[in-house]
Amino acid sequence: MSEPFSVPVTVRGYETDSLGHLNQSVYLQYAEHARWALLQAAGVGQAELLAQEVAPVVLETTIRYLRELRAGEDVEVSCAFEWGEGKTFRVLQTIAKADGTVSAEAVSVGGLLDLEKRRLVAQPREFFERLTTDPGLFGI
C-alpha cells in the first residue's frame, strides 16, 4: 500500500491562541485543506463536482489532540479514504511535525450530496471512481 496523500503546512502566528498553541479550530481547517488538495490532485476539484451537481459534505469529525503545535512549525497533513458500503465513507487524517511526531489525528465521516435532491449519493466510491484521474489517491 502506498503512503497516504499529504500536504505541507507551516503554522502561522495568527492561527495560535493566547497560550501560543495552534488554535483547536485550525486543525479542522488543515484537515479540510488536505481533503480538497487530494480531490484536486485526483482531478475532482470543485468545478468538476459542481458540473456533476454534487458536493462533498462532512457529517462528523473526531479529533484527538496529541502534541501542541506552535507558530513556524512545519507539518504534513495526510488524508486517506476508507470505503464501506452505503452512502458514507471515512477520511483518516494525521497532522505530523517534521520529525514525525503526530500532533493530531482526525477521523471524518463524509458523503456526497446530490445538490438537486438534497440527499446523499448512494455509492460515493463508484462516483469518485468514475470521475477521478487517479483512483489510487482515493484508495481504489
Mean pLDDT by 10 residues, the chain (140 residues): 86 96 97 97 94 96 97 98 95 97 98 98 95 94
The model carries a pTM of 0.94
Grid coordinates standing for 87? 452512502
User: What pLDDT shows up at residue 4?
Assistant: 87
Give domain limits for the chain: 5-132
Class of domain 5-132: alpha beta
Task: Please name the amino acid found at residue 55.
Answer: A
Query: How far separated are the first and last CA of the chain, in Å rounded?
Result: 11
- What is the C-alpha to C-alpha distance for residues 30 and 37, in angstroms, rounded to an integer? 10
For residue 125, the model assigns a pLDDT of 96
